[in-house]
Structure 1
Amino acid sequence: MQCHELAERLIKLQPQLTPHEVARLSLLILNDVTEPSELADDQALLRHWNSACFRLQAASDQHAAMSDELDDLAGDGPIKFEPEQIWTLLRAIKVQSQLLDLYIEEPSLV
């Protein structure tokens, strides 16, 4: 199954999806399957769709929480770098890499 074929099926299943949502879901779903032909089955497609939505929501929630921590860190000012600030920055890098992992087939960081 090609990306445009998957996009057409997604639009038929949920016509209210925006073009951005269709593109994002198509990429996430195709990255989630080992054999794209299995998406010909509606149940398999819905299962992968739900999985992609769940992973995207989890990553979005982590990103939002990490953004709040970074905002707090930025408000501390450049007075002194504490070990906790370094850990916050490292967690932010890890969260960003998890978001990238959703859109590529290989982990961006180990």
Structure 2
Amino acid sequence: MTCHELANRLASLRPELQAVEVARLSLLILIQAEDAGKLDDDEVLLKAWKNASFRLEAAADQHAAVAEELEQMCSSGPVAFTPDQLWILLRAVKVQSQILELYTDQPALA
């Protein structure tokens, strides 16, 4: 199954999804699928869609939280890093690596 075919199926099964969401989910589903041929089954496809949606939402939530922490940290101006600020930076790196892993299906460095 190609990404285009999968996008068409997702759009027909879930017409409320925006085109960008369909494209993003199609890519994530195909990356995570062990056998793209099994996605012909509507139940398998919907299960894969829910899994990809959950992972994407979790990554987006983590990214938003870390971005807010980084914004707060940076708004205080240049100062020596405290241990808490170092942990914020480490979490930011970890979240970014998880997002890369989500899209590339390759182990991230962090």
TM-score where L is the length of structure 2: 0.93
Question: In the alignment, is residue 71 of structure 1 matched against residue 71 of structure 2?
Answer: yes
Matched residue, 2:51 = 51
Using the aligned pairs only, state the percent identity.
Answer: 55
How is 1:1-110 mapped onto 2 (pairs within 5 angstroms)? 1-110=1-110
In the alignment of these two chains, the number of paired residues is 110
Q: SS of the counterpart of 1:46?
A: helix
Root mean square deviation, CA, Å: 1.1
Q: Could you list the runs of 5+ residues in structure 2 that have no partner in the other structure?
A: none
Q: Could you list the runs of 5+ residues in structure 1 that have no partner in the other structure?
A: none
- Residue deviations 1:63-94, cap 9 Å, x none? 11101110111022212221221111111010
CA distance in 2, matches of 1:36, 1:9: 13
Point out 4+ residue stretches in structure 1 off by more than 3 angstroms.
Answer: none
Q: SS of the counterpart of 2:107?
A: coil
CA distance in 2, matches of 1:16, 1:81: 46
